[in-house]
Chains A and B, each alone.
Chain A
Amino acid sequence: MTTTALIPGIGEVFLALSLATAVFALVSGALGGMRNEARFVISAERALYATTALITAAIFILWYCLITDNFMVRYVYSYSNHEMPLVYKFSALWGGQDGSLLFWMWLTSIFASLSIFTHRQSDRVLIPYAISVFATILGFFSLMLVYEDNPFKLFPEMAADGRGLNPLLQNPSMAIHPPSLYLGYVGMSVPFAFAISALLMNRLDTRWITATRIWTLIAWFFLSIGNLLGAQWAYVELGWGGFWGWDPVENAAIMPWFTASAFLHSVMIQEKRGLLKFWNINLIVISFCLTVLGTYLTRSGVVQSVHSFARSSIGYWFLSFLVFVILFCAFWIYRRRESLKSATIFESFLSKESAFVANNIALVGIAFIILWCTMFPTASELIIGTRIIVGPPFFNKMLAPVAIFLLILTGIGPVIGWRKASKENLKSSFIWPTLIGAIGTGASALLHITHWYVLMTVFGCLFVLSTLVMEFYRGTLSRMIQYNESWFQALSTAILKNNRKYGGYIVHLGLVMIFAGVAGTAYKRIYEFDIKPGEVQRFEDYSVYLKDFESFDHPNQEETYAILELFRQNQKLATVRPGRFFYKQQEQPSTEVDIYSRWSEDVYFTLGTIDPKTERARIQITLNPMISLLWLGGLILALGGLLAMMPPLRTKSVQVQERKV
């Protein structure tokens, strides 16, 4: 046996062994939970770590095969070639179906091992079944990889060269976007595993929530980053001038984000008030199921998408797993219905709790609207035999009112008190934000902004922004008075002491900017014209001059660029180079856009076809107002998420409170 065949063979053995260790961890963990015997739990824990080690070894073997161009391995042949840059050979691991499933399983195993290792002492009661849940997930993936989608399958002989990675995936953000999204997906398995363990052990107090708080935040953070990077990729790579097309795969990625956001808010009510136990368990099960459903949609071929994987039978695997998870969870939730009753009651409709419940309804509502619209073509085909396509305008029309309602709630939640808000509180908290919002909306209307949802977004953004400023101001002021601190010290201590709360506010600030960026798309303008070297074309107060074309012949692709000079009121702003690539191996063209960014708008250039006879190139220019706010908002949202994840500043206040009691 040659080394080229032996090494992937070892990878296959590691995969098979990981299935055995995962099954063992599942059984031993369950025995440990049922009999409460440490020896079974320790053994299950070790089996889980061993599973992680084996999958890690398999991953490194696949990476090794990709980097060394081992085209005897079918996966390497299908998603890599000699000419591909090293970074794309590396990212080819998640470029195809088999590799991405292996990668997914690897991340799950790392999350599983890390969470079990860090909580093995502090949350000993939940560990046995949590191991079993993780092992079930890992076992499912191992089984599927070993019997259905083995990434180490070999050809009888070594191929001369591979087919290479899909050109659309040969983009820097594609090297980060899928791992980030996968980290978000698999991160949801940690709160899910601990929640199911709490359910099985009938330990449904807040322990599982406090234990998994950080993991939920990590999952939410990566889901946010993954979706934003996906939007960024669509914007710079797909060349249609937009960032979100309500494609089924995009929808599959954003749905768990909405339910995870709802979960992050509703667990606070359980932690503080002992309410919503039933809802929280259901919400985490829904979030986890949506990650599985997303994978099913992407890989089964039931929905048509520009970036779904090839139609394959693994869709049935995911569907079966999904049905199993739903039935199992439904059974146990029903069995524990008495323990899932809330310990207290809502004291007033005017309270933070109520605002959070409304926010949960909006967030989960959005997720289900997206799910419904995504599944509608398939459902219509099943029921009436005709595939009715639901396009972006329908999504926008359905979601805009709920999203604006959610935006306004983002302003209400932070300023309203727990349990019972006073009339004075409501008056002092909302008069100014409402006034500022109304003035801003009026001013926008005077500036000929007529779309009702843009006007409502202006109101919502200003309302939320004002409440956030007030919240920071009041927090700082109360410390300045109470502790005689300078404003800077008061502000920084308030933030660091209550980092979860203020991190959340910064996330809200990022959301406001994202809403503003999205609202700007209502005023997007598109210009299209033919131009040849030496000619000038005008649009609005801009003009472009086509200087020349440039061509390069690389081993992997041929590149052609149009060298354009952009002017505004006869003043040169920039030289831009939109291009078209032709990938030789795949015989596939791709568009490489160029963007001139300003705070107020992006000037987005796309090069269409070039007529070799007349030398006329088709150029499309899209003016995207306020789009930079979207990306900046995303960055701020990520920073807020990071702040919320940090451990809080330790102070003596708890001891002081304790002394008072």
Chain B
Amino acid sequence: MTLVAFALAFVLVALLVYWIFSPWLLTRALASSTDPLLRKLERLHFAREMILENLQDLELDRQMGKIDSKDYENLRAKMMVEAAGIYESLQELENKDPLFVEIRRLIESKGISAS
């Protein structure tokens, strides 16, 4: 009984060690992209989310009377300029990157709606 238990334990440990070590035998794929273009794109997406959330908050603050109309107009104008800049950079980047150009071409050729 004890011998069987030890044998079973040994097999389990061996399987565990193999399961943990086996990825070392794989090819050297990257863990995360180092492409500066993709990193910039990621940053811009983050910035876009942030500015949209800020615009929503500003709108909510105005509706609830937390900000006067003059400050609201000023802040909104500032944020819209910032947002426009982010959208412009995003579009520029997507037009430049061959991957996005290829995706867009694929979409157009298959007639899939981008929205």
Contact = CB atoms under 8 A, between A and B. Distances in A.
B44 to A, nearest CB: 11
Given A1-B2, A658-B52, A661-B83, A418 B31 contact: no
A419 to B, nearest CB: 6
Given A39-B23, A418-B61, A424-B65, A657 B29 contact: no
Contacts of A10: 9
A207 B80 contact: no
Contacts of B43: 205
A18 to B, nearest CB: 11
B111 to A, nearest CB: 23
B66 A417 contact: yes
A214 interface: no
Given A39-B23, A429-B66, 6 more contacts: A37-B31, A39-B29, A43-B24, A50-B20, A419-B67, A425-B66
B93 interface: no
B4 interface: no
A124 B29 CA distance: 13
Given A50-B16, A50-B19, A425 B65 contact: yes
A128 interface: yes
Contact of B13 (A6, A17, A428): A17
Interface in A603-661: 653-654, 657-658, 660-661
A474 B20 contact: no
A329 to B, nearest CB: 23
Contacts of A421: 66-67
A40 interface: yes
A24 interface: yes
A39 B26 contact: yes
A40 B31 contact: yes
Interface string B60-91: 11011111100100010000100110010000
A308 interface: no
Contacts of B55: 657, 660-661
A422 B67 contact: yes
Q: Which 5 A-B pairs have the closest CB atoms?
A: A417-B66, A422-B68, A478-B63, A42-B23, A43-B23
A124 B31 contact: yes
15 contacts: A33-B31, A37-B28, A37-B29, A38-B30, A39-B24, A39-B25, A39-B27, A40-B31, A124-B32, A206-B46, A420-B67, A422-B71, A425-B65, A428-B65, A661-B51
A32 B28 CA distance: 11
Interface string A286-298: 0000000000000
Interface in B25-56: 25-32, 34, 43, 46, 50-56
A206 B50 contact: yes
Contact of A661 (B20, B46, B71, B87): B87
Contacts of A110: none
A39 B57 contact: no
Interface string B1-27: 010010001000100100111111111
A10 B13 CA distance: 12
A21 interface: yes
Question: How big is the B interface, by class?
Answer: 35 or more
A50 B27 CA distance: 23
Contacts of B59: 657
A207 B39 CA distance: 13
Contacts, number: 123
B56 A654 contact: yes
Contacts of A17: 13, 16
Contacts of B27: 39
A272 interface: yes
A154 interface: no
B64 to A, nearest CB: 4
B50 A41 contact: no
A657 B21 CA distance: 49
Given A38-B29, A272-B50, A272-B54, A419 B24 contact: no
B70 to A, nearest CB: 8
A650 B66 CA distance: 25
Contacts of B25: 39
A423 to B, nearest CB: 8
A43 B24 CA distance: 7
B53 A417 contact: no
B31 A38 contact: yes
Nearest to A54: B16
Contact of A417 (B24, B28, B67): B67
Contact of A425 (B29, B32, B68): B68
B32 A46 contact: no
A42 B83 CA distance: 38
A46 B5 CA distance: 25
B91 to A, nearest CB: 12
A424 B22 CA distance: 66
A40 B24 contact: yes
Nearest to A48: B20
A47 interface: yes
Contacts of B16: 17, 50
Contact of B75 (A46, A50, A206, A420): A420
A41 B31 contact: yes
A202 to B, nearest CB: 12
A274 B22 CA distance: 42
A423 B12 CA distance: 70
Contacts of A274: 50
Nearest to A201: B32
A36 interface: yes
Contacts of A206: 46, 50
A36 B64 contact: no
Interface string A205-245: 11100000000000000000000000000000000000000
Contacts of A417: 61, 66-67
Contact of B63 (A42, A482, A660): A482
B21 to A, nearest CB: 7
Interface string A332-374: 0000000000000000000000000000000000000000000
B50 to A, nearest CB: 7
A127 B30 CA distance: 13
A207 B46 contact: yes
Interface in B82-109: 83-84, 87
